[in-house]
Amino acid sequence: MKKHARRLIQIIVIVAVLAALAFFLRDASDIFRAPSYDAAAPTSVKFMKLSRWMPAGSEFDFTVDVPRALANPMLKERLLELIHGKEGVAAELVAALMAHQDAVGLITLVGTLGNKDEQPRFAILAQGKFDQGIILPAIRAAMAAGRSGLTSEDLGWATLFAESDEREPFGFIILDKQHIAVGNRDALVTFYSQRPSPVESIGRLSDAVIFGHAVIGPRLKGLVPQTIQLPESVDFGSADGQTIEAALNLTDQAQAMSMRMFLEGVRSLIMLEQEHNLPLVDILKGISISGNENKVFISSGLLPLADLWGALPESEEEGNEPAPAHVQQAPVGKP
């Protein structure tokens, strides 16, 4: 359980910055300077466009308005402190976002947690200026400087590009000139083997700096005692980019009280088990859990969450095994 929790934290941290488009931002800093995309447009306007590409069956989405989030000087300073002296893709991408804050307008994490027999699947949707004729040469140049080859796979309606020599290859799909999907190849195939059907309206727009929606599915329900009632879904958000809040709607005051006691108990247990992980303990201490009639409110400061990245152990080299047969294709030709 601890291994999966640690891996989940690493995935969330790395995926959040992968929306800066992994291997090519460092070598293509001028890609996004074309005036046809306005990263500073209203959040709800940008999200309406992005929601068209949300995969069917996604159990959650977590959206960050990048320019507005980085306008918070404390958050920007904290991220700069965290990447100082660090190496790797995540640090490079955060540095790229710091230098070019107009590169990406929105980042949305989508995915499914599955059930006990299925692994969670995650992907990132990023909104920016993604002209294929500019992106592909930049990606090829960046990946050629590393150790990864680049393969292409025809999905019928779009092309999936992925690393050719990794066991769990990273990949991306250019959805249109303003949207790209980034993530593990298998997750992208699951989500985008068919073109997503256009939606008439997402039905829940927001102008918060950070906001999201999560369906309480089988995996989460399996972690909670049957005596505890869970809502069907939960919405959360941060209007100021400093504090994130969520509200759980229960059927009555008794159920709300049971939920509060359960959450408090889980927090106390984790704090005891992870007493030497001071950043995590500080974050848990900073979480506020309260209630009002049939509602439970949860809130936390955002800045302490960034400390989780600094608290993560340096990951060992992974994915160096030969790639399985299904990704051993001819590399995409050089530009």
Is residue 151 within 8 Å of residue 161, measured between CB atoms? yes
Describe the chain by its helix, strand, coil percentages, rounded to 5. 40, 25, 40
Helices (H) and strands (E) in the chain, counts: 11, 12
How many Cα atoms sit within 13 Å of 185 on the Cβ side?
A: 24
Q: Is the distance from CB of 111 to CB of 58 less than 8 angstroms? A: yes
Do 212 and 232 contact (CB within 8 A), yes or no? no
**Sequential DSSP letters for 142-185:** HHHTSS--EEEEE-SSSEEEEESS-SS-EEEEEEETTEEEEEEH
DSSP 210: E
Q: pTM to 2 decimals? A: 0.76
Q: Cα separation of 99 and 94, whole Å?
A: 9
- Tally Cβ neighbours within 10 Å of residue 305: 17
Would you give the DSSP letter of residue 25?
A: G
**Quick one: which of 223, 145, 141, 172 has its CA closest to 21?**
172
Q: Is 220 helix (H, G, I), strand (E, B) or coil?
A: helix
Q: Tell the residue number behind the tokens 């200026």, with chain if given.
A: 129
| Residue-level pLDDT at 325 | 42
pLDDT lower than 70: segments of the chain = 1-35, 82-103, 131-149, 165-166, 199-204, 305-335
pLDDT for 32 equals 45
Q: CA quadruple 220, 49, 101, 23: dihedral positive or negative?
A: positive
| Entry field: residues in the chain | 335
Among the listed residues 270, 263, 226, 229, the one whose alpha carbon sits nearest the alpha carbon of residue 246? 263
Cβ atoms of 307 and 283 closer than 8 Å: yes
Taking the CA of residue 299 as centre, how many other CA atoms within 13 Å lie in the half-sphere pointing to its CB? 12
Q: For residue 116, what are the CA distances in angstroms to 80, 119, 221, 224, 228?
A: 38, 8, 11, 14, 19
- What is residue 105's predicted lDDT score, i.e. its pLDDT? 87
- Confidence (pLDDT) at 53: 93
CA distances from 121 to 8, 58, 150, 219, 224 (A): 11, 9, 22, 13, 21
In this predicted structure, what is the pLDDT of residue 6? 47
- 181 and 188 in contact (C-beta within 8 Å)? yes
